[in-house]
């Protein structure tokens, strides 16, 4: 699919350039192409064709010589993936080579990258939740960071718009703090999850346990097939059942005839035209030949992922912008956020020995935020809040590892379903601290001689207070729900582990304190848009990708309107 621009001599000028092809870049490409703009997508990695390049999608453990284990050579190029624990033989080809793409951790920070067409949209967790005014008003209310320039009403219709295309399954329950999406049918809770839900909701007024809302199709839509419940999503889905750029937005963009994708294109900087007072194009380095090329366009969308987009902007210096494109405020690179997670509790559930489940559901349960709501219990220990993900399941053969047993009867026993377990793990909002930042590091250069990024960020007191509450609430909820041997935990991970990097080029009302305006345009360079995680002004406690989608579609609409009015 798509035209691939592999001939540097031709087609140097487009209507629009999109930097990056992940979740937000794919949306930018789709919207701009559908509105008639000849659009060039610059992707720093290789092409990944939907289905054809999902080379491990059908492999069973025994089809792989080491049954999913990686070789030392594979592990060596994925030290970050190894630290985060999600990389293995079946998906390692979708994780960036960390050795070729170094960054400097001033304080420990995990930066998981995926350098190929589709980016991390191939690997994401697919949990999709709308934000509410509880989130958009949060900064204004408690004074952390700057106020969002938008409110829920500004984005509500755009949520609906992207949901109808992406396909979000879930159960509408009308919570003001977690607005319902335009839903496909929800996935099912299993017996133990239903049991815990009943106990939890009857014991804790104002708390709900719901099936996760996720970007998996429970009905076929838009030419994509429904989920087959194989739970092998991170290998790429041959049915196109989960939302990725590869399965969804890029094919739609291609169908317009307006899309060109140029792989192996490392964006070095955005070119600024001092005379016209706007950006004129994008300078790339060909990752394979190291050739430098400048592409021109009327409008540029930055969707390289939060920190990479900011790296490009910081590296885009000119007389007008000596500290990086759009950095009049000095906020570019600052206010980096993530979500805390891996704090929670897990316990054993007695009974239900005669019940099991079938299918491998790529989804779990969700407990929406219940503290510091507009109406409801307020904490005097922290601002903002948290939600929980989790699930119930029966142990399989792995239970045998810990059993003080072995031999014939043991073997028979662990071939049958084991103990039911149920766990929850919190995701907490992180405040936008000016001191949490990324900056260019010219001492350390990458394979192509370009400055790299340094990350200097850590959790603050508010996050630690949230984590403490998560842990004690998790234990209390599971014990009250009747679970036994409840083990509460805090894995004390560094920032970045949530893989929800947000901020570093925030939206705001005031150009003196923010980088982007209310329609994601760089305040002082309005034909440059940033609609990936970099634009976020606060972090909410819910997963951010759906909001990136909605903001991108909204910004693309604005871009085309402004182009038509000759304002850009």
Partner 1 sequence: MNRREALKKTGLLGGVAAGAPGLLSLLQSCSQQSRSGWVPQFLSEKQAQFISAFVDTILPKTDTPGALDVKTDMFIDLVYAKTLTSEAQEGVKAELDKFDSDCESKYGKSFADLSNEEKRDCLMTHEKETAKFNRGVWGTTVGEQEPVAFYRNLKSMALWGYFSSEEIGKNVLNYDPIPGQYRGCVPVEEIGKIWTL
Residues in region 77-136 near partner 1 by CB under 8 A: 85-88, 90, 123-125, 127
Q: Collapsing DSSP states into helix, strand and coil, what is residue 337?
A: strand
Whether residue 41 contacts residue 259, with contact meaning beta carbons closer than 8 Å, is answered with yes
Q: Which of 20, 119, 333, 391 binds partner 1 (CB under 8 A)?
A: 391
Q: Which of 110, 134, 233, 478 binds partner 1 (CB under 8 A)?
A: 233
Separation CA 33–CA 491 (nearest Å): 44
CB of 460 to partner 1, least distance (A): 24
Residues 431-470 that bind partner 1 (CB under 8 A): none
Whether residue 376 contacts residue 200, with contact meaning beta carbons closer than 8 Å, is answered with no
- Phi, psi for residue 478 in degrees, rounded to 5: -70, -40
Per CB under 8 A, which region of 42-50, 225-233, 317-325, 460-468 contacts partner 1?
225-233
Smaller CB separation from partner 1, 184 or 556: 184
First to last CA, the chain: 31
CB of 532 to partner 1, least distance (A): 18
By the 10 Å C-beta count (0-12 exposed, 13-18 middle, 19+ buried), 389 is classed as buried
Whether residue 90 contacts residue 222, with contact meaning beta carbons closer than 8 Å, is answered with no
CB of 354 to partner 1, least distance (A): 5
CB of 86 to partner 1, least distance (A): 5
Q: Which of 7, 9, 65, 443 binds partner 1 (CB under 8 A)?
A: 65
Maximum Cα interatomic distance, the chain, rounded to a whole number of Å: 82
Block residue for tokens 């406690």: 541
Q: Which of 275, 408, 449, 566 binds partner 1 (CB under 8 A)?
A: 408
Whether residue 300 contacts residue 532, with contact meaning beta carbons closer than 8 Å, is answered with no
Give the single-character DSSP code of 163: H
Residues 506-565 that bind partner 1 (CB under 8 A): none
Site string for partner 1, 184-223 (x = CB under 8 A): ---xxxxx-xx-----------------x-----------
Residues 409-428 that bind partner 1 (CB under 8 A): 410-412, 414-418, 421, 423, 425
CB of 181 to partner 1, least distance (A): 19
Separation CA 234–CA 88 (nearest Å): 10
230 binds partner 1 (CB under 8 A): yes
Separation CA 21–CA 118 (nearest Å): 5
Residues 348-367 that bind partner 1 (CB under 8 A): 353-365
Smaller CB separation from partner 1, 24 or 363: 363
Per CB under 8 A, which region of 270-278, 293-301, 396-404, 520-528 contacts partner 1?
396-404
Angle between helices 23-34 and 545-564 (to 10 degrees): 30
């Amino acid at each position: 699919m798509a035209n691939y621009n592999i001939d540097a001599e031709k087609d140097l000028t487009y209507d629009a350039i999109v930097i990056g092809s992940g979740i937000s870049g794919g949306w930018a490409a789709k919207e701009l192409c559908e509105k008639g703009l000849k659009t060039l997508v610059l992707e720093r990695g290789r092409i990944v064709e939907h289905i054809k390049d999902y080379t491990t999608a059908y492999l069973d453990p025994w089809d792989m010589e080491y049954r999913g284990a990686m070789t030392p050579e594979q592990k060596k190029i994925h030290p970050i993936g190894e630290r985060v624990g999600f990389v293995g033989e079946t998906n390692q080809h979708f994780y960036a080579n960390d050795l070729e793409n170094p960054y400097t951790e001033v304080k420990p920070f995990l930066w998981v990258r995926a350098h190929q067409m589709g980016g991390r949209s191939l690997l994401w967790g697919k949990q999709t939740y709308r934000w509410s005014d509880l989130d958009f008003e949060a900064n204004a209310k408690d004074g952390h960071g700057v106020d969002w320039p938008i409110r829920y009403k500004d984005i509500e219709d755009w949520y609906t718009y992207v949901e109808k295309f992406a396909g979000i399954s879930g159960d509408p329950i009308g919570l003001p703090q977690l607005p319902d999406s335009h839903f496909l049918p929800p996935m099912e809770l299993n017996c133990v999850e239903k049991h815990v839900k009943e106990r939890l909701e009857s014991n804790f007024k104002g708390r709900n346990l719901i099936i996760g809302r996720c970007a998996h199709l429970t009905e076929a839509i838009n030419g994509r097939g429904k989920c087959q419940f194989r739970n092998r999503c991170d290998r790429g889905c041959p049915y196109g059942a989960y939302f990725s750029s590869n399965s969804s937005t890029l094919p739609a963009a291609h169908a317009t005839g307006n899309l060109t994708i140029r792989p192996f294109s490392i964006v070095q900087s955005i070119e600024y035209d001092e005379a016209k007072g706007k950006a004129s194009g994008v300078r790339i380095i060909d990752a394979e030949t190291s050739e430098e090329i400048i592409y021109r366009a009327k409008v540029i969308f930055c969707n390289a992922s939060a920190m990479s987009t900011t790296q490009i902007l910081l590296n885009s210096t000119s007389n007008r912008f000596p500290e990086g494109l759009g950095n009049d405020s000095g906020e570019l690179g600052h206010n980096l956020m993530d979500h805390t997670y891996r704090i929670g509790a897990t316990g054993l559930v007695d009974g239900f020995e005669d019940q099991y489940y079938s299918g491998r559901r790529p989804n779990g349960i969700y407990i929406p935020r219940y503290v510091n709501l507009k109406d409801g219990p307020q904490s005097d220990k922290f601002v903002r809040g948290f939600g929980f993900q989790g699930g119930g399941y029966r142990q399989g053969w792995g239970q045998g590892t810990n059993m003080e047993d072995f031999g014939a009867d043991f073997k028979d026993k662990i071939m049958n379903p084991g103990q039911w377990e149920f766990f929850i793990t919190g995701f907490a909002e992180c405040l936008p601290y000016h001191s949490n930042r990324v900056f260019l590091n010219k001492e350390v250069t990458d394979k192509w001689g370009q400055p790299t990024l340094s990350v200097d960020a850590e959790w603050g007191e508010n996050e630690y207070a949230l984590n403490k509450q998560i842990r004690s609430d998790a234990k209390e909820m599971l014990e009250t729900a009747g679970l036994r041997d409840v083990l509460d935990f805090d894995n004390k991970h560094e920032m970045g582990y949530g893989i929800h990097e947000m901020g570093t080029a925030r939206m705001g009302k005031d150009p003196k304190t923010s980088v982007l305006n209310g329609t994601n345009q760089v305040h002082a360079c309005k034909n440059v848009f940033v609609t990936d995680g970099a634009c976020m002004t606060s972090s909410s406690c819910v997963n951010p990708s759906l909001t990136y989608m909605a903001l991108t579609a909204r910004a693309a609409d604005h871009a085309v309107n402004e182009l038509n009015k000759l304002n850009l």
